[in-house]
Structures are given as structure tokens and as C-alpha cells.
Copies of this chain bind each other. A is one copy, B any other.
Amino acid sequence: MSDLHTSTEVAIERMREAILSGDLRPGEKLHQDKLAEMLGISRTPLRTALTALAQSGLVSYESNRGFYVREFSFADVAGAFQVRAELEATACRLAASNMSEAAERNLFELVEEGDRLLSSDSLPPENLVPYRRMNVCFHTAIMNLAANPWIRTFVESLHNVPLASDRVIMWRDFYVIRRSHDDHHRIARALSLGQGERAAAIMREHITFALEHLHTQLEQFPGDFLRVPTVDPRPKRARARNQNRRNTA
């Protein structure tokens, strides 16, 4: 299964989950003793994990003062979308030069899978996870075709920004999803025709609009976005944490 062999790796993964899912709240102090006990490990691997997460930007750190869950402003989130739009647009431009028979087929298969999942006039809840999976695969496939490892690396790290992740998709408005998938159609077609610039333009707008839509949704349904189901909802006992929050009063 999971190739997480060491406590450190497990701790990194669990804490990432906990932070992205909101179990650990932004700004929250990460007490080493408590966290270590909570995860059932000692402070050594925990500290290592925290350092790693600090490097990847999910937690902040001050010497001799400890670790805190990093707080992201809306500007951070918006910036993440902006950069993601540029990076993935670049990926499209590059991918257009690297298309192969197989790559083309792969993209169209993903698009068709999306068609199936959206074939009714709504997205049934049981199709939500598969659709998200398809979406991730589609974007990842293009970045792989771009044959530039940095694009993937950076886009992945942008997915660690709470609201900028692929795991957050606005499921309220079916038309938006349909239109978004329409973009996928056009991108795949453009790429297969070697129209890199066109694919890039569509991709840029595809992601830019996602931000705009997120913004709208946030104003309309504020505070409804931190409890996001994870892609891999295996049981985690790291959850039993934020009970005793109020006794700070």
C-alpha cells in the first residue's frame, strides 16, 4: 500500500492531511509534546516532519519559538491560481510539441470518461470522486507531456495551498462543471492538432475562471470551504485533536 515506511513520513502525510482538511486550523500553534503523543511517536520524527512541512510551506517556523499552521490570505490563494494558470498554460504550449499517438489517446479517453460521469444532467454524488480523479489525471497528463519536471513540482506544491487545491471544486453549479469539462475537450483537441498556443490560452482561462468562481462562491457561502472531503478518506486517528480548543479562554 502506502510506501510510507518511517514514522517521519507518516507524520508528514498525516499532518499535511490534517492541515489541508482543516483539522489543524490556520495559525494554530503546533505543540511538539502534544502532537507527538497524539500521533503516537516521539518528538524526534515529529520535529523532522515539521521541518519538512515548513520547507514545503504548509507550516511556519521561528527559531526557538516553534511551529504554527501557516495562515494563507486570500491574496495567497489568488496568487496560487495565477501562477498555476501560467504554469499549466506553459505546460500546454510545451506538450503540443511532444504529442504522441498514445498520449493523444490517453487524453481523449480521460475526456470521454468525464463525459460519461457528466452524462446525466447533474453530477451524482457518487461520481464526484471519480470526476475529481479524472480532472487531476487530465491536468497531470498534460504536465507530464510537457516533459518539464519543475512544472509538475510547482503545481503540486500549489495544491498544498488550502483553497487552491484540486480537491476544492465548486460542485454547486452544474453548468460550471459542464463548461469546465468543455474546456478539457477543447484543450485535448487543440493539443492533438498541435495548436499549443490555443491550448495554453484555454488552459489559462480554465484556471483563471476557477479562481473567479471560487471568489464568487466564497462571498456567497462563506466559511463552507474548510471541511473538504479528502480524495483518500482512509481512517485517520489524527483527527481526535481539536476538542480542547475552547479552554484557551
> What residues of chain A have their CB less than 8 Å away from a CB belonging to chain B?
3, 5-6, 8-9, 44, 47-48, 51-52, 54-57, 63-64, 75-76, 79-80, 82-83, 86-87, 90, 94, 147-151, 153-154, 158
A48 to B64, CA, bound (A): 15
Asked if A5 and B63 sit within 8 Å, CB to CB, the answer is: yes
Q: In the complex, what residue of chain B is closest to A93 when comparing beta carbons?
A: B86
| Shortest CB distance A38–B (Å) | 20
Copies of this chain present = 2
Most buried by B among A6, A8, A48, A57: A48
Give the 6 A-B CB pairs with smallest separation, nearest first: A5-B63, A55-B55, A79-B148, A83-B150, A52-B55, A86-B90
Q: In the complex, what residue of chain B is closest to A9 when comparing beta carbons?
A: B63
| Shortest CB distance A200–B (Å) | 11
Residues from chain B with Cβ under 8 Å of A5 in the complex: 63-64
A153 to B58, CA, bound (A): 13
Asked if B48 and A149 sit within 8 Å, CB to CB, the answer is: no
| Shortest CB distance A179–B (Å) | 25
Candidates B55, B147, B158; contact of A56 at CB < 8 Å: B55
Residues from chain B with Cβ under 8 Å of A87 in the complex: 83, 86-87
Asked if A6 and B51 sit within 8 Å, CB to CB, the answer is: no
A75 to B64, CA, bound (A): 40
Asked if A79 and B149 sit within 8 Å, CB to CB, the answer is: yes
Asked if B52 and A54 sit within 8 Å, CB to CB, the answer is: yes
Residues from chain B with Cβ under 8 Å of A64 in the complex: 5-6
Residues from chain B with Cβ under 8 Å of A75 in the complex: 147
A83 to B155, CA, bound (A): 12
Q: In the complex, what residue of chain B is closest to A55 when comparing beta carbons?
A: B55
Asked if A83 and B148 sit within 8 Å, CB to CB, the answer is: yes
Residues from chain B with Cβ under 8 Å of A158 in the complex: 150
Residues from chain B with Cβ under 8 Å of A51 in the complex: 8, 48, 51-52
| Shortest CB distance A16–B (Å) | 12
